Structure 1
């Protein structure tokens, strides 16, 4: 079983290639690849939008979901 962690963040920028930069609640900027954004079912994100990040055991962002 793969361990996954979630954390809350705010979208800082949504890029033309489908990726995004988000600001975690602890103040750290994180890049989310286009695949992670698409995994959450998003067509696009807007700056200021709240999201939930899903990270794998290595810390890589695997999903950008609607906030919970």
Structure 2
């Protein structure tokens, strides 16, 4: 029911709608402790700074899942 995205360090609740939907969470669902800030915005900002559109182009190796 919970998914962890290693590449962006994001934790989320899986939405069982037949697709890949999820709801990002910022706190541990068991203890309530705050989770680290996801890396997604920082990673996307760095790609944009390099002139790379992550939705249209393949990201460099260091930016791919788990990188």
Bigger fraction of residues in helix = 2
TM-score normalised according to structure 2 size: 0.24
Higher relative contact order, chain-length normalized (CA < 8 Å, sep 6+):
1
TM-score normalised according to structure 1 size: 0.24
